[in-house]
Amino acid sequence: MFLPPMPEQADPLALMALLLVAGLLAGEGLYRMAGLSRIVGYVLAGALAGPGALNWLDGETLALARPVADAALGLLLLETGRNLDLGWLRANPGLLRTAAAESGLAFAGVFVFSWGVVGLSPAWSAATAAITMTSAPAVVLLTAEECRAQGQVTQRTLLLTAISCALAFVVFALVLGLIHAEESGDGLNAFIHPIWVLGGGVLIALLCARLALGLAARLEKGGAGQVFVLVAAALLAIGLARMAAVPVFLSLFLMGVAVGQLDRNRVLAYTSLPQGHWILAIVLFVVTGAMLPLGEATGLMLLQAVGLLVVRGFAKFIGVMATGREDLSAQRRRLLGLGVQPLSATAVFMAAELAAFYPEVSVQALLLPLLAAALMEFIGPQLCRRAFVLAGEAALPNREPPP
């Protein structure tokens, strides 16, 4: 017979398509009925369908979806890197001090908590701190778009998140050396691997940024052709990063920074992906939700994750409050300290990157930051949204669809 045999289970691509639609509906439903961020609905749909709950998406299906989620996170980080205004930092060095203070205190606080309270080794405590010290640039970017937020608190939250992300990527690369030294005892790898990661990320970023700018200069400004070139160059960067075993999120963030700094003639200044952001968000946060290890959590682990978030949140808040007094009121600094709290997909993918190197030991060692990220997937967007609303910078007319 010409008819195919009845499959034993649904095709993974069909399941993923249905899940993305379910995530979209959940996000819109929670936004319109409860006023929650759409991101919460996307993550909730993925978490329910993942191995930790209903297991509609097993490990094999998630492995197939991982490259798509890599691309989604990478493109969002590309936009974050493009928005990193180094000129503003040079004119206002206090912003860099604020970013260094909140990120540095978060790293120190989480390291001490992981080592002294949870009992992780120094190297894995440093890994936990590196993963969780960053804010979530994708969450902040999407929340600002969802709220149509504009103003001092919004712009500084976006900038501090981008700087925090850059600092975390550098620290993460250095921590890879510590992990190598502890697990393999090979001192040479402990030095070479961080250099490979950072150097490879920079080279891929510069190559793809110059390619995008060179091709886009021959096309109409702000047109569909430039958008296509930018996305194609980003996908090339993702492919090169995966072949070179360099973290995709690092390469795309650096590419965004390179595009922003090398674009002297403002070739791509009017090219962005505002509508595409939400398509990427659905894919990213549904897959991220499914990757969360909710089924492995115990009561003690959840308590430890909550403790980590309290330490991290307090450290970031103190870092923001202790700096920037000369050009920002105390009230706005408090809201800024609230806005930089999200922890999300970037942390999950950092943990996945480490797990790929040492799967035999990293599952338990990385469970703490993963559970912390899981909790903040649901809380972080609401905290950021609240900061923008209290600052009077958000416009939420009739809870309309995203821009």
* All structural domains of the chain: 67-394 (1.20.1530.20)
DSSP letter at 118 equals I
The percent of residues above 90 in pLDDT, for the chain, comes to 33
Euclidean distance between CA atoms 128 and 125, whole angstroms: 5
112: burial class by Cβ within 10 Å (0-12, 13-18, 19+)? middle
Q: What would the pLDDT profile of 97-122 be if each residue is shown by its tens digit?
A: 899 999 999 999 999 999 999 998 88
Residue 93 φ/ψ, nearest 5 degrees: -65, -15
Q: Taking a C-beta distance cutoff of 8 angstroms, is the pair 50, 285 a contact?
A: no
Q: What would the pLDDT profile of 53-98 be if each residue is shown by its tens digit?
A: 777 777 777 877 888 888 888 888 888 888 787 777 778 888 888 9
Q: What would the pLDDT profile of 268-311 be if each residue is shown by its tens digit?
A: 876 766 566 778 888 889 888 888 877 777 888 899 999 999 99
What is residue 72's predicted lDDT score, i.e. its pLDDT? 87
pLDDT at position 359 over 70: no
What is residue 255's predicted lDDT score, i.e. its pLDDT? 94
Local structure of 15: helix, strand or coil: helix
Helix 330-339 vs helix 299-321: angle between axes, to the nearest 10 degrees? 150
pTM assigned to the model: 0.87
What is residue 268's predicted lDDT score, i.e. its pLDDT? 83
Q: What would the pLDDT profile of 28-39 be if each residue is shown by its tens digit?
A: 999 888 888 899
